[in-house]
Amino acid sequence: MNRKVKHTLVISIWILLLTSLSIFEVDAQLSDLIAQANEQFSPIETDKEIINQEVVVDQEQPYNVELIRTTEKIKDGKQKVERYLFNIALLNENKVAIKSSKNKMLLKMETKGGKYIQRFEDEKSKGYTNVLEIQYVDIDDARSAKSTWEALIPVAKTDWTQAINLPKSLGDLKTWLRPYVGDVDMGKQVASQSLTESTIYDDYVNYEVSNLKGKEKREIYRFSLADIDNESLRVGPSGSTIKMDLKTEGNKKLILKEDEDGTTFQNNLTIYFADAGSALEMSKGMEVVTAMAQLTADERIKSYETCEDCLGGFSEVINQYQGRKINTGLEGDCKSVLTLDKGGNDESYEFRWADLDAKRVKQDFGTNEMKLTLETIGKRKFITKKAEGEIKGYQNKIEFYFNNLETFRKSGIQVKSIIESCDVDIMAESVTWMDELFSAGSINKMDQSISNEEECSVIYTSGDAEGDKSYSYEFNLYDLDSKRINMKISKSKLQLEVNTNNKEKIITKTNQDGKLEYTNKVILDFDNLDNLRKAELSFVQLIGGCSEG
């Protein structure tokens, strides 16, 4: 199902549930049933012990109760007190059953979805369980109690659902969530937690926790509620507490973490609670608030598609980036230079925006930074890499680094506008231009010349600078295949390979000794990428301008 549709359904269903019944009527019904459950208890006496039980109600939240069982040894009067804290609404009405024990009857009930019953023995926490057993003298008492609890559970669920009372706006929902995140006794230490609203974006919140593992370490997590995956929410026990685990959509590292060690990004978060009911209440609120936050986030992301000076804004972001190991800079307009300062090992990348493929924009969410990778159209190696001013090779992709999530999102959208706004400024030239280029000096230790005294006939010569070897090629432009002009780009050479139609060997090739042979291709050397590309366009145009005869 579409995520927006699911979010709309979540909001609608909760609003319907919260407006259907009177909470006062349900509270009264719940109180009557709990009183009835207590009336069904009677002391259980055996040869060795006396057992007394009672259900104590939280008056503010009557669905939250505590079963207290006191077992007294007849011989010495020693007592053992067991306490079970739970939300009646979390019990499964289909899992209420009677079973016999040696000298008593047991009413066994189970929670639905997890271990949500907190157990204490003589005030010592024994963790959480999903099973509750209440003891009775005989089968008649157990049967009566079974009927009572089967009626009690659905009423508690209705009461609890109404008590949650979710607000209907994003701002109010964020305010509603805040009290659920507070100090929690972890057993050996008390962890301090808080949830606050972001002052920058409406859909963002800040979660802060300290003293989580007995250390006075402060951690702050900043994230958009829209980035949380509702289906990832998990509530369950963690030692003496209850935790709620959250994950981001697609497990992307969208949560910013700040602590004494620096800034990192992660894809998950854990919040701790004193009881299961509070955790589950917040999880229900999260289902709705993330849906509303998504609407706000969508509006912001939509606004990123419009920018007056996309390239200027993008360059400013890149120039401000300071990473752990790399600082970056960007200069130029439609022809730009990206610089990477790696602490003494500087690199630069020369490229044209128009050469990049707007359909191949890749965003990587890393632990320490985010990376935007752009590839050239057709994966052609049109990006020149330099180090210390020297060419180190050519490549078909370029990478930009970010450490701000929203800037990264915006840039991933706006680079498409930059690409579409730029044109390739390389134009076709004449044979004369190529000859002037070749006569300026050796390229790859090769001397070259080219001429076309007749409009569609060309003579190309190539030889090593020492004059030991040389070749002369004579061919007609109309014999060449404009679709088989290949740029051969490597670290040390830039060459243009021009092939004949159907690869026919009709090009005359003569060496320095006058020996003649026929070939189906000519390879020309060039000094830089721009000239190579000009030559490619030039041959395409020259071939197109000639026709046989």
Same domain, 452 and 412: no
In a domain, 227, yes or no: yes
The model's pTM is 0.84
Tally the domains of the chain.
4
341 & 397 share domain: yes
Looking at 163, 187, 211, the residue that finishes a domain is 163
Same domain for 108 and 126: yes
Choose the final residue of a domain: 367, 398, 421: 421
pLDDT at 207: 98
Length of the chain, please?
Answer: 549
Give the residue among 171, 152, 123, 184 at the shortest CA–CA distance from 57.
Answer: 152
Distance of alpha carbon 322 from alpha carbon 514, whole angstroms: 62
Q: Which pLDDT score, from 0 to 100, does residue 325 have?
A: 87
Residues of the chain with pLDDT under 50: 1-2, 4-21, 549
Q: Dihedral (C-alpha) 143, 145, 147, 151: value to the nearest 10 degrees?
A: -170
Whether residue 439 is contained in a domain is answered as: yes
Q: What is the per-residue pLDDT for 11?
A: 42
Answer yes or no: is 14 within a domain: no
What pLDDT is recorded for position 453?
83
Regarding whether 538 and 480 lie in a shared domain, the answer is yes
What one-letter code names the amino acid at 338? L
Residue 43 and residue 153 in one domain: yes
Torsion angle of the four alpha carbons 58, 159, 183, 206, in this order, in degrees rounded to the nearest 10: -170
Question: Is 277 within a domain?
Answer: yes
In a domain, 13, yes or no: no
244 and 317, same domain (yes or no): no
**Region class of 280: left (phi > 0), else alpha (psi between -120 and 50), else beta:** alpha
End position of a domain, from candidates 388, 421, 454: 421
Q: Based on the fold, state whether residues 158 and 210 are members of the same structural domain.
A: no
Question: Is there a single domain that holds both residue 361 and residue 401?
Answer: yes
Expressed as residue numbers, the domain containing 466 is 431-547
In this structure, the answer to whether residues 143 and 201 fall within a common structural domain is no
Is residue 8 in some structural domain?
Answer: no
**Together in a domain, 180 and 293:** yes
**Residue 381's domain is classified under what CATH number?**
2.30.29
Could you give the C-alpha distances from 187 to 100, 109, 121, 230, 262, in angstroms and in order?
35, 27, 15, 29, 28
**pLDDT for res 20:** 46
DSSP 367: S
525 and 459 co-located in one domain: yes
- pLDDT in the model for residue 23: 56
List, in order, residues 6 or more apart from 88 with CB less than 8 Å away.
63, 64, 65, 152, 153, 156
Task: Tell me, yes or no, whether 145 and 186 share the same domain.
Answer: no
User: Are the beta carbons of 446 and 496 closer than 8 angstroms?
Assistant: no
Q: Considering the domain boundaries, does residue 450 fall inside one?
A: yes
Position 2 in a domain: no
